[in-house]
A and B are shown apart, each in its own frame.
Chain A
Amino acid sequence: QTVVTQEPSLTVSPGGTVTLTCASSTGAVTSGYYPHWFQQKPGQAPNSLIYSTTNKHSWTPARFSGSLLGGKAALTLSGVLPEDEADYYCLLYYGGAQVFGTGTRVTVL
């Protein structure tokens, strides 16, 4: 069974930078896994931020960016705002199926 692992929790100061990662149990994550990133706040549906590794939607704030880092997919938040406090999930494509990551809770403190 494929497992996609994220940091359980991260804390960042307002105005700071934090990087979330997304690792696959099958090996290095490449662009062929078409990584997605989603933000979810309590009581809300997920909000799509990034698709196909680096691509942003029209509504994605510029402070969010996606990349590949050390064999993992990564989401970097720069100039963090209090409203960025949320759960973040990655999603990887495995040729006919997709698997969500375990999720990272980001606290802005």
Chain B
Amino acid sequence: GAGVSQSPSNKVTEKGKDVELRCDPISGHTALYWYRQSLGQGLEFLIYFQGNSAPDKSGLPSDRFSAERTGGSVSTLTIQRTQQEDSAVYLCASSTRQSTYEQYFGPGTRLTVT
């Protein structure tokens, strides 16, 4: 079946603009995660959604970052007033209820703030 998809694949924006990044998880996956990977670095946890529970937002670096998950499926990560240090690859992952440990990653969105 289809894997996790993300759009856009690349986004170039000017400093100060807002951006929205989209994630479509694998159908039926109840858990959805956002991570950030800066150049040559590991993956940094941002936010985690599980079903109808309140999201775990403990990894969001500032109040400029927010995320929504509508209808328990698609998620949107929004970065307001982008800064150059926001430049990174933003990765989304999802996992199932039956196999909730394994996380399957999307291809990522490469964000460049100029």
Q: Do A and B come from one complex?
A: no
- Which A positions have Cβ atoms within 8 angstroms of B? none
